[in-house]
Amino acid sequence: MAVSSHATLIGSASFDGRYDPNSGVAPCLRTHSYARFAQPKSVKGTLASHALSSSRIFKFPPNFLRQLSNKARRNCSNIGVAQVVAASWSNNSPPSPSAAAATSVDAAAAASVSAASDAVALEGCVGNESLKVEEDLGDSRTSVFDSDGSVAIHAGERFGRGRVDDAITTPVVNTSAYFFKKTADLIDFKEKRAVSFEYGRYGNPTTIVAEEKISALEGAESTLIVASGMCASTMMFLALVPAGGHIVTTTDCYRKTRIFIETILPKMGITATTIDPADMNSLEVALKENKVSIFFTESPTNPFLRCVDIKLVSELCHQHGALVCIDGTFATPLNQKALSLGADLVIHSATKYLGGHNDVLAGCVSGSLKLVSEIRNLHHVIGGTLNPNAAYLLIRGMKTLHLRVQQQNSSALRMAKLLEAHPKIKCVYYPGLPSHPEHNLAKRQMSGFGGVVSFEVDGDLTTTIKFIDSLKIPYIAPSFGGCESIIDQPAIMSYWDLNQTERLKYGIKDNLVRFSIGIEEFEDLKADILQGLEAI
């Protein structure tokens, strides 16, 4: 490929991906006025001797990725692509000083372009490591790991993501749209002969890594990540329940989910039957008397941590052609595998344990490719797209998921036992306690009981407020599952717009407390809770 004699390599250069279509090789070299490294004016004399051996990092625009294979392009970002070129250069012997001194700047530039072309021809190889997408690896992508902890760290990244920048962490791809070199490429994409991205609402390389990581943890064929847990739940209902359809849900659940079921779905003629989480007889009646589309519940539920027999529910629902969707936010994929127990879909508010640092809003739904694709198609219309920066935070958070959940499981169980034995506590709700109505079920279908403990203080609204205000460690805030402990009084935090009688319809007493235990040392939390109880 001929290189323009006007191309001068100074400071930091970059490749322009809009290459000559007649040449079929790598893009042209262009100059930038913003140099990453300061260069002397005599760069022409020094460049030639170092062009092929320098470790200088070049900056490349996103369109250079279009020169990579489709598979590599799908799984990489626009950061540090120059190392593909560097890998190719490093395999060549450096030119002798005399030969290098005799080489012109234009020749050096041509060699750079040639090296870039060679890197493209290698189908995105860095050194000896081939860039492949995960689906090419089949089941082997996570078979090297025996634990969810390792899967949470490496799934979607260690084997599969195009690692053209050699970065351990997944780069953030901040773009709202993706371009095509020519219309023929666009048509190939539309007719599914080529894989690419098109628009930010339809997909993003950073978000895909997070989706694949969650799929690996849940044992799901596919995962869709959206802007919040409520976004995931509402789109699931809208996508899978037909107008005039019927759903079954449980008495104890997140209030905003209940509001959607009771006020929004009826506008589409969708009705609901509400049952106790353990009432399988009522479930069977509802299945026989209605054409049920979906059974939906949390397990454990919010805020009383009731557990549903996922295996039995799935068997009953499938006999009547109904789907089962479990919100496993309180459980996490580490403590409970709803899909392996028979559920069709599992939803998480990834804001909670998956993100784990109280710094990101996200939601996800996982299951078969067929069902998730139906929800994804609606998502493409409605929106609710997760920002790629939030996807990065989610990926980062999941790398410590197993460590955080282990600590929270342990501390929560110890705290539940401590509270149950305290004379100023009337009742404790935690599936790890033998007193919990579904304790045996929880032991059967969960490997850990989670980091949230709900309990009732022996007192009224004012007494409970005094207890909470006396605590020094937990924040008074909504949400749960983060590193920091959080405590709240549901009667105030979530149900204050209802009067006391209306709150009691949902079992929400004025003295109810929901305690989300973080990863602080248990002894510190214990001392704080005890001094708070002493204050009342």
Of the residues 352, 376, 404, 509, only one is catalytic, namely 352
Q: Which residues contact 370 (CB under 8 A, 6 or more apart)?
A: none
327 is catalytic: yes
Do 294 and 240 meet the contact criterion of CB atoms below 8 Å apart? Answer: yes
Sign, Cα dihedral of 462, 465, 467, 470? negative
Q: Which residues contact 261 (CB under 8 A, 6 or more apart)?
A: 237, 247, 249, 272
Of the residues 252, 327, 488, 510, only one is catalytic, namely 327
**What phi, psi does 293 have (nearest 5°)?**
-90, -45
Q: Other C-beta atoms within 10 Å of 447: how many? A: 14
352 is catalytic: yes
- How far is the C-alpha of 77 from the C-alpha of 482, rounded, in Å? 29
Of the residues 19, 254, 430, 495, only one is catalytic, namely 254
Strand-pair category, 425-429 with 363-367:
unpaired
- Two structure tokens written together for 357: 């640092």
Strand-pair category, 271-275 with 425-429:
unpaired
Instruction: State the burial class of residue 5 (Cβ atoms within 10 Å of its Cβ: 0-12, 13-18, 19+).
Output: exposed
Radius of gyration of the chain (CA): 28
Strand partners, 515: 453, 487
Do 43 and 15 meet the contact criterion of CB atoms below 8 Å apart? Answer: no
3-state DSSP assignment of residue 450: coil
Of the residues 18, 158, 181, 201, only one is catalytic, namely 201
Q: Which residues are catalytic?
A: 201, 254, 327, 352
